[in-house]
Amino acid sequence: MRRVEVVPYDPQWVARFEEEADRLNRLFEGEMVAIHHIGSTSVPGLDAKPIIDIMPVVRMIEQVDELTGHMEALGYRSFGEHGIPRRRFFAKGDDVRTVHVHVFEAGDEGVTRHLAFREYLKAFPDVRETYAALKRALAEQHPTDIESYIQGKQEWVSETERVATIWYMAEQTK
């Protein structure tokens, strides 16, 4: 059973990202366009589940399927698209997750959505704190029900992603 634990921001999350990103860079060598630390652990000051979210951006998403065995050798479990078309999702750890890898092809709107959300939370501390409070409350309400935790924040996240993407695209043109 996966427990839902939201903890205060830990600066060590950056080092954990960099360590895992190095492994993934070697694995996806030649296919990797960029690699990003995303999700709540990438936002200084934001409370989060202590799971590092990594987003490799690759030239061709289908090439990732050929590397699934190598990902498994690194301790990952493959979940295929896992509800998001043209994404490949991998997780390290079963009951206690430590890393999530969300692979997208260059140009996919998922890349922009994740980067926009991260940058928006960094730029607007009041929004970041609202999100942290929501996550803490949901973790208290659903300490052993990850699905209810995720569903509980879905509407807020979707609306914030929409606003963040508009803001992010405007920032990119400045």
Task: Return phi, psi of residue 78, to 5°.
Answer: -90, 135
Q: Is 12-172 CATH 3.30.460.10?
A: yes
For residues 145-150, give the mean pLDDT: 95
Show Cβ contacts of residue 40 under 8 Å, excluding neighbours closer than 6 positions.
46, 47, 48, 49, 53, 131, 135
How many angstroms separate the CA atoms of 28 and 126, rounded? 37
Domain edges within the chain: 12-172
Q: What is the pTM of this model?
A: 0.95
Residue 6 has what pLDDT? Answer: 97
How many angstroms separate the CA atoms of 13 and 44, rounded? 10
How many angstroms separate the CA atoms of 55 and 53, rounded? 7
